[in-house]
Amino acid sequence: MGDKDFRKYTWEEILALPEGAKLHDEVYSVSPRIRFIISRGYASLLAYIGIPLDHPMAGYDYEEMNIKPHWEFTHSDKGDGIYLPADYWWYGWDYGHGGDFLFIDEGKPRGVSLKYMNPDWLKKNEKFFKKYLEKDSRKKWLLEDVIQDSRKTLENFKEVMLLEEQWTKDKNGRNRT
């Protein structure tokens, strides 16, 4: 990942941003060319890797990807031209999973709906739930955290892109990119 300077946001500043606001937008022009965007979603920060539409990896469904970002990919599509530039195919993931603090949780007490859980199981795991409800250990992801967390995903993505380019070149006797 590049050493590009980026603005640091506090949790409160991120909460105040409108949904869809871009916090980070970086283009890596060295082959393979990719774009990396982090934006504010409804419930969490969202990260996206964009690749040129003419790249052999463009068009895959995110479930076909054998790269695992934070949890997993949750998005793949051509850019809409509003939130994501239309000249890229985007693969995205979010920071709103188990252990992540959601924007919509801000100001609400930590809680778990226990009424549908098996009472025997709850009794057996009482110590865990007492500790779970006492301390909120969910992570409030900031921009610098997402950038750091995404480094390995970006590196892996670049490696797979280069392999796909080489495979396409070998298969067709020419490079489609």
Element (H, E) at 166: helix 143-172
Whole-angstrom Cα distance, residue 123 to residue 146?
37
Q: What backbone torsions phi and psi does residue 39 show, to the nearest 5 degrees? A: -135, 170
Give the domain ranges of the chain: 11-98+139-172, 103-134
Whole-angstrom Cα distance, residue 102 to residue 117?
23
pLDDT in tens, the chain (177 residues): 444 567 899 999 999 999 999 999 999 876 778 999 999 999 999 999 999 999 989 999 999 888 889 989 999 999 999 999 999 999 999 999 878 888 887 765 444 454 555 677 767 777 666 665 555 678 899 999 999 999 999 999 988 888 888 887 776 655 544
Phi-psi region at 16: left, alpha or beta (left = phi > 0; alpha = psi -120 to 50):
alpha
Of the candidates 30, 12, 27, 6, which has an alpha carbon nearest to the alpha carbon of residue 148?
A: 6
Please state the pTM of the whole predicted model: 0.78
Max CA separation in the chain (angstroms): 65
Phi-psi region at 60: left, alpha or beta (left = phi > 0; alpha = psi -120 to 50):
beta
HEC per residue, 134-157: HCCCCECCCHHHHHHHHHHHHHHH
